[in-house]
Amino acid sequence: MEKIVLQNKPLVEAIFELKWDLPQTIDPHYKIFIGRIYDQVEKDYPYYEELPTVRIPEEMIPYIVQYRFRKAEKQWPLIQIGPKIMTFNDTENYLWDDFERRVHNLIEVFYKTHPKINELTIKSVHLRYIDAIDFDYKDNIFDFLKEKMKISLNIEKSLFDETNVKQLPNEFEFKVSFQTEKPKGLLRLRFVRGKRLEKDALIWETELLAQEEDAPKNAKELKNWLKKAHEVAHNWFFKTIEGELYRRFK
């Protein structure tokens, strides 16, 4: 796979997310796990944060992050931990080789530090990219998607005739998912109207997901899944922006 570094990349955030289950509804070793994992990552992520969700009982918020470990205050990358969930997040400084290395290290730390690692099962694993591009919604979003991103969505003009309804959408959201073979799981795509730096933007998300029987079973499988998931996301992204957008981001 060709390595391409975009100087003006549209990336907002890259996220790796891992969820797991245990025989117990509440993980009795959760607090021990938090301390152990921080001991292992403190050198690279010394800034510790408690999120507002830390005040909510664990049984009420499974799979919601409560703690955050950063390189420094308000800086990325960062690690987030909660009951039965762990994420790694990076932003505009993202480079795949660095991201992959850090996630591999986090996976190894996870398997090394969880007190009941042999009792847990992986519920799901996600690799998600959030991108944004400035877009003036006075323009036609359907034309933009078709001409610039190879996505054809159409509402026939006849539906608007003699209805006093304007053709340009006031709100916009489109999402779809497809099964993937390598790796096993789903590719999810989402396009939605949003803001970036206080300006109107088209936000699009590319997510690879494996869950339940498709989810990796151990550290080696997780690392292999991450590699294959990135290959799919990488290829899909560059096919999507091929042409004018690629030249803009390059």
Domain of 104, in residue numbers: 24-118
pTM: predicted TM-score of the whole model, two decimal places: 0.94
Which of 207, 193, 205 is closest to 134 using CA atoms?
193
Residue 13 lies in a domain: no
Residue 149 lies in a domain: yes
**pLDDT over 90 percentage in the chain:** 76
**pLDDT tens, residue by residue, 30-81:** 999 999 999 999 999 999 999 999 998 877 778 999 999 999 999 999 999 9
For 114-126, letters b (16+ CB in 10 Å) and e give beeeeebebbbbb
pLDDT band for position 1 (cuts 50, 70, 90): low
Domain boundary among 91, 118, 145: 118
Give the model's pLDDT for residue 132. Answer: 96
> What is the arithmetic mean of pLDDT over 87-98?
95
Residue 230 lies in a domain: yes
pLDDT band for position 2 (cuts 50, 70, 90): low
Q: Do residues 103 and 184 both lie within one domain?
A: no
Q: What is the DSSP letter of 59?
A: G
Torsion 88-96-206-75 (CA) sign: positive
How many domains are contained in the chain?
2
Residue 114 lies in a domain: yes
Domain boundary among 118, 152, 178: 118
Residue 60 lies in a domain: yes
Q: Do residues 45 and 157 both lie within one domain?
A: no
Residue 127 lies in a domain: no
- Terminus-to-terminus CA distance in the chain, angstroms? 18
